[in-house]
Structures are given as C-alpha cells and as structure tokens.
Amino acid sequence: MQIDGETKIVAIVGDPIAQAKSPELFNALFERCEANAVLIPLHVPPAELGAVLEGMRGIANLAGVVVTVPHKIAAAAYATDLSDSARQTGGVNCLRREVDGTWSGAMFDGSGFVKGLDACGHAVHNKSVLLVGTGGAGAGVAHALVDAGVASLDLFDTNTESLQRLEDALRSRRGTTLIRRSMPSAHAAHDLIVNATPCGMSAGDPLPIDLTGANPDAVVADLIMKPTQTRLLEDAEARGLTTHLGRHLLENSVETMATFLRLVP
C-alpha cells in the first residue's frame, strides 16, 4: 500500500480500539480494488468523541469514520442525515464526510450480521432468537433480524433504558415478530443465541449467556471479533453447539461500507 498526497483517509474510532479488525479488512479491500485509501485506528474515549468528530469535519481528504464500541449511539447525534437503518436503530457504525463538512450516518451491523449467517448456511426466517445486548450493534442486529422474518426475539440487557428503547422501537414497527424480555439464559426454543455485549473482550469477563438449557441444534453467535474464540464460543463448542464468529459480520459489510464512503464502486 502506497500513501501519497492524494490518499483518502478513513478513521475507526472506539474505546478500546486494539480489538478492531477493520484496519486489516478495509486496507486489504482498498489494495484489492486499487483504491488510494487507508483506514487508521483512533483510540477515542467517550468524553472526547464530540471534539474529535467536530475536528475531523475540517479534514477535506477524510472520507469518513467507522464507529465501534461504545460510540455507535452517541455518534448518531452528529449526523445531519441518517440512513433508514440508522434512524431505526438510533445508532451508526459509519459516518461519511460530505463536501460541506457535514456527516451522513449509516448502520450496517445488522445487515452484515444476517448476510454472514446466510453465507454460513444459518437461515433465520421463522426462527426463535435470544439477543443479549441492546446497544448500538445489538439494536442494529435486532432490526435486521425482524427484517429477515424471525418468529420471536427475546431481549436482555442490564441497561434497562437501552432495553426499553429497543423494545419500543421494535414494537412500533407492528410486524409479526414476537418481541419479549428475557433473561440471559438460553432455552430449548432458541434456534439462534447472540451475544451483542462487549462481555468477552477481556480474559476475566464472565459468560454473558448461560447455555445450560440450550437447544442442541442452536447456533451461538458472538459479535466480538477479538478474541476470535470468546469464552461464550468456547463454552458453546464444549457443549457441542454450532458457533458463529464475530468476524463474519464485518466481512459481510466491509464492501458495503466502503461503497457508502464512495471509496470503491
């Protein structure tokens, strides 16, 4: 990869940022597509997010910003224009810098997650799902699962405000999916079990979901990308359950995000 005076810059902002897989995936895509662009990681604590985004508005060769934990909800407030998925979820995972310095925001977590499941042969239509974690990524996944026609969606989060906000948003859609509150415990009716919390990124984290009562045919998915094998996925494998890695979400959304940023066709 050659960086010169015409290189377009993309930043990924998060706290922490060491776990991010976006730099390797985006930069590999740019190289394959011969796009003169580079993605760099920026470690931005929550208290500094506003100042950073406001400052980056003035960088004319900045194509945009990829947004990761814990900024997806907060970053949406800085966008002048939001995609349908971003408005639905109340969060963004990508901000495109427009010529006038304003931000356009979009959310690709949900569509990338469902595409990743489909690519691995895990169809979700008419299935029962347990989703633990209702923040930015969790909300995106929840709306995409409803779009894909899941029969029921059981939700849990220790943050009751976040949980209530997602419940209200999903129920306002008046679809056929049954929306329920749940505990972070799998049971025999769940076909898909999803961890959308950061719990598992650190070695000492507890298990975010109790798999004791899981259906032996269930698929257990974790949105965490580093470590690749979280404690939850290790526990699932030890129980003989099918697992679905976090990287599949990003792998199935990186090209769409790069297109949104106007860096690849």
What does the pLDDT look like over 187-233, one tens digit per residue? 999 999 999 999 999 889 999 999 999 999 999 999 999 999 999 99
The pTM of this model reads: 0.92
Query: What is the predicted pLDDT for the residue at 203?
Result: 85
* Res. 1: pLDDT tops 80: no
Tell me how far apart the alpha carbons of residues 124 and 237 are, in angstroms, rounded to a whole number: 20
Query: What is the predicted pLDDT for the residue at 151?
Result: 98
Which positions are annotated as active-site residues? 72
Mean pLDDT of the chain: 96
Tell me how far apart the alpha carbons of residues 221 and 232 are, in angstroms, rounded to a whole number: 9
Q: Which CATH superfamily is domain 110-249 in?
A: NAD(P)-binding Rossmann-like Domain (3.40.50.720)
Q: Where in the chain is the domain with CATH 3.40.50.720?
A: 110-249
* Res. 174: pLDDT tops 90: no
Q: Where in the chain is the domain with CATH 3.40.50.10860?
A: 8-107+250-260
Q: Which CATH class for the 8-107+250-260 domain?
A: alpha beta
* Res. 65: pLDDT tops 90: yes
Non-local (6+) Cβ contacts of 232 within 8 A are 195, 200, 207, 208, 209, 211, 220, 222
Contact 82, 76 (CB under 8 A): yes
